[in-house]
Amino acid sequence: MSRKKVLPLNTGVTIPQIGLGTWLSKPHEVENAVEIAVRNGYRHLDLAMIYQNQDEVGRALKKVIPSVVKREDLFITSKLWNSSHQAAVAEAELEETLSQLGIDYLDLYLVHWPVAFQPGQGLSPKHPTIEGEVHLDTDTSLVDTWKTMIKLKETGKVKAIGVSNFTIAHIEGIIKATNVVPAANQIEAHPLLPQDDLVAYCNAKGIHITAYSPLGNNLVGIPMLTENAAVQEVAKKLDATPAQVLVAWGTYRGYSVIPKSVQESRIISNFQQVELSKEDYEKVSAIIGPKARRYNTPVTYKPKWNINLFDEEVEKTATHTVKIL
């Protein structure tokens, strides 16, 4: 059983350090995964409208609240999707999320990406003239969206607000404009993408970091980090799984970590929190080599998001940049 460690947010509440991720889970698997997770001690669930499985999560919650856990003992995060960044539609999406989940508030609501899509045309609106691209909303700024999030928090339906996939410049822009500091920034974080500058900035501002894809993912056809020889070596030494070692790398750095699994044995083992020594942490950190590797860059999606979010090499040909103000 995990030590059930919790970490502080700048709102005065705590977030459980290990949570269940639900991204890239296949339909009809999430309901079972969430129920298994909660029955085995998980209290932190990470969700999003775009995962298109919140209704399944809601069915699982009905099975475990209140028989296994009280609602107030769960920490439930969801995320505002790109097509609802606009003030006129954001609250409707929040209401839809709450309805799908069968609950009346979220513990944390994040702006999923620092990019807006045209509203009213589904989750992935097609560009009217450019084949294979989504239709970006280049008028709504990050500051506009953050002001909308601040208003959503005032409704009481959201206990804390934060961001996801935001860079230092993105966060700096919204704080300067509103004086409201995000409670969290959820980012892709693993030994190939340590993002030390961003981590240091968030730590200095009191912004909690949640790590997604702590094991890598299968989006770009390169090996998962669980297959790395150094990770496997440390796992063998600690009598742990490679996934446990990668989760522990994130917790060593002070993150909350949300590994995704739908298999009961892995859901349970991912929660068995192991701790790395400094030596083991440095050995795993060293796998980065000369260049960081990001698994999740939307300019490579189909349909393509024609926008430079992180200034990665693959994004240099994108037409648009993030509108902060």
Catalytic residue annotation: 51
3-class SS at 270? helix
In sequence order, which residues have a C-beta less than 8 Å from that of residue 136 and are 6 or more positions away?
A: 115, 116, 117, 118, 127, 305, 306, 307, 320
CA angle 202, 188, 295 (to 5 degrees): 145
Distance CA 272, CA 270 (A): 6
Beta-carbon contacts of 241 under 8 Å, excluding residues fewer than 6 positions away, are 226, 235, 266, 269
What is the sign, positive or negative, of the torsion defined by CA atoms of 309, 8, 173, 180?
positive
Q: Is the dihedral of CA 148, 151, 157, 160 positive or negative?
A: positive
Taking the C-alpha atoms of residue 322 and residue 299, their distance in angstroms, rounded to an integer, is 13
Using an 8 Å Cβ cutoff, are 4 and 44 in contact? no
Residue tagged 């590994």 (tokens): 259
Residue 264 has a CB neighbour count (10 Å cut-off) of 14
Pairwise CA distance, residues 172 & 202, whole Å: 10
Strands 14-16 and 44-46: unpaired
Burial of 10 (0-12, 13-18, 19+ CB in 10 A): middle
The type of residue at 241 is: T
User: Per residue, what are the HEC states of 285-310?
Assistant: HHHHCCCCCCCCCHHHCCCECCEECC
Residue closest to 104 by CA, chosen among 60, 75, 71, 69: 71
